[in-house]
Structure formats: structure tokens, C-alpha cells
Structure 1
Amino acid sequence: MMEVKFYDCMDVEDDKIRFAVIVARHMGAWVFCRHRDRPTFEVPGGHRETNEDIRRTAERELFEETGAAEFTMSPVCVYSVTGKNRVNATGQETFGMLYYAEIFRFGEKPESEIEEVRLFPELPSEWTYPLIQPELIKRVMASGFFGK
């Protein structure tokens, strides 16, 4: 069983936050990525590097996975996931920082594991993390960053 929880940014110690996930939009469309080894879609995000500020992680991952060249980004909250999944073999609670980004311009996407970046007018049905990412998107929508 997978459990997603949300926390105020000040309630979780910074060194526990291992991931940055960015729910992004461009001209009213949702921005999703498809990993070269999977047929499903996911929002941009990834692991924090050693000694990296979590906001820098989010900015780096958004650029590396989508080619976003001009954007605004706002923190939404800290989230956690408990349960085994593709990035958590133990199933223990892991923490990430959730961001919302509005992308104004894309540049050339660097070479990476991301095969495709796609804009969706509606949320896709083929999720890589179907028990996690829809919950993160609901949280962003409830936070009032854009019209529901």
C-alpha cells in the first residue's frame, strides 16, 4: 500500500528531503515527461545531489528533463511517500519537496533519460506513479497556483 502525506515546509528537516518534484504548466497545458525505458508519463523531478540546495535540485531537474529555459517556480509543500515503489525499495517514508512551475519558454533539452516531453491539455491517463503523482497535482491545484 502506498501512502502520500503533506507537510508544511518548516515541519521537516532539510536533510531528510531527498527529491524535488515539479508540477509544471506551459500556456495552460500540463508538462509531462516520458522516460526512455517506460511508456508512461510523469511530472519532472528527481534526486537531490550531495550538498545541493533542494530548490537548485528542482531548477536543475526541470531544465534537464524538459529544457525549460524561462520559468517561475514556487514551493508548495513537503510531501512524503511510504510504500515500496520504483525509487524506494525499502518502503520506508521518504520525503520530497513539491514545487509548481509556470514555463514561459523552452530551450533545447539536454541529452538525458527523458525520451519525450509532452504538453497535455488534460491530465494523462498513463501514469508512471499512479498512486503518487495525481495526489501531488491535487495538492498543487488546492494551493491556488492556477485555476482549477
Structure 2
Amino acid sequence: MNDIDAWVWWLVGAAGLGIPLVITAMPEFGMFAVGALAAAGVAGLGFGVVVQVLAFVIVSVALIAVVRPIATRHSTQRPQLRTGVDALKGKQALVLERVDGSGGRIKLAGEVWSARSLDNGRAYEVGQEVDVVEIEGATAIVI
């Protein structure tokens, strides 16, 4: 196998590693594909098989060692900006109609919501401020 054939084979290997990347969504295959591209570049510059394999291994391992922990950390982080009903939890609301275990109305984030008390034996009168602990459908659960 001459030098031109070597870089072509490395490109074929990179494309071959790209297929399972797309099918399985495992980023490690992409990192190996980048290693194969690096080996193709080294082969294109005329270096021998040993240097090509070393380039493949070094680039692939470096990417897995550096990129994978960063990607894992980002995938396990909670979003800093809460949106939707998650943003309403913990907010204060104003009671518009008496709220007890069976229902009532509150003003939450500028909108009128149906609400009920978390504790069925507890009631909140008009004008009181309550805290939203949960949203169930279109009903705010308050304390």
C-alpha cells in the first residue's frame, strides 16, 4: 500500500466510523472518526504507518479524555433559566377568591389561576399572599 492509498483508506475508515455515530448517537465514534482524519492527514504528508497509527490513537484518546467529560458535565447540568410551570414554583401569589382544599382563585405572575390549598384543612382569605409549591394542570397548589 503506497502513501496515497493509505490516506484514502484512513478517509474510508473515518466515513465508516461516521455511520455508527449517526445510527447510535454515540459521540465516541465521532472522536474516532476525527482521529482517522488526523491519520489521513499524516499519511498525506508522507509519514509511515507507525506514525499514522500513533496520530490516530493520540487524537482519538485526547478527544475522548477532554471532550467526553465536558459533554457529560453539560448533559447532567440543570438549566439555569427555569421556564413554563417550573418558573412559577416558589413564586408568591395574591388570593382573589377564598382558597381551600376544594379550590379558589389566585393572581399569579399577572394571570388569574385556579388554586387549591396543599393542606385540605387550611384556607386562605382574599388579600392574603400565598406561595406556589406545585402546578397540577391549570391549578396551582399553594401554602
> TM-score scaled to structure 2, two decimals?
0.19
Larger RCO (CA under 8 A, 6+ residues apart): 1
More strand by share: 1
